[in-house]
Amino acid sequence: MLRFRCPGFKGDTVLQSYPIAVGKEGWETPTGEFSIFQMLKDPEGEHPWNGTVIPAGPDNPLGDRWIGFWSDGTNVIGFHGTPAEELARQAVYHGCIRMKNNDVRALFGQVAL
């Protein structure tokens, strides 16, 4: 379970929830309680295998919002949008939490560093 304290909760009552896609086997999304340490609009993406930088824009696999919440000092994981919104709710990615673009924009406006 991933838990954040944000305006989406009132006590233990969930006020808002979003469909997400998490990391696939071997690239599991970490569990625990985390703090957001980075928030970016129009982030650049980086290919997980070859390090190629993908500029911000409609083909960027990060969408147009990034909310970073975990790092082991080398790898970073966060919430972000995706051009492949049909894959929401599936474990097919590299550890990050992918969301529909409108949903991650809404979340971006509800959380802070």
Sign of CA dihedral 89, 23, 30, 43: negative
CB-CB contact of 18 with 107 (8 Å) = yes
Which of 6, 47, 80, 94 is the catalytic position? 80
CA distance 109 to 113: 11
Q: Which of 6, 47, 94, 96 is catalytic?
A: 96
96 in active site: yes
Active site residue 6: no
**Which residue numbers are catalytic?**
80, 96
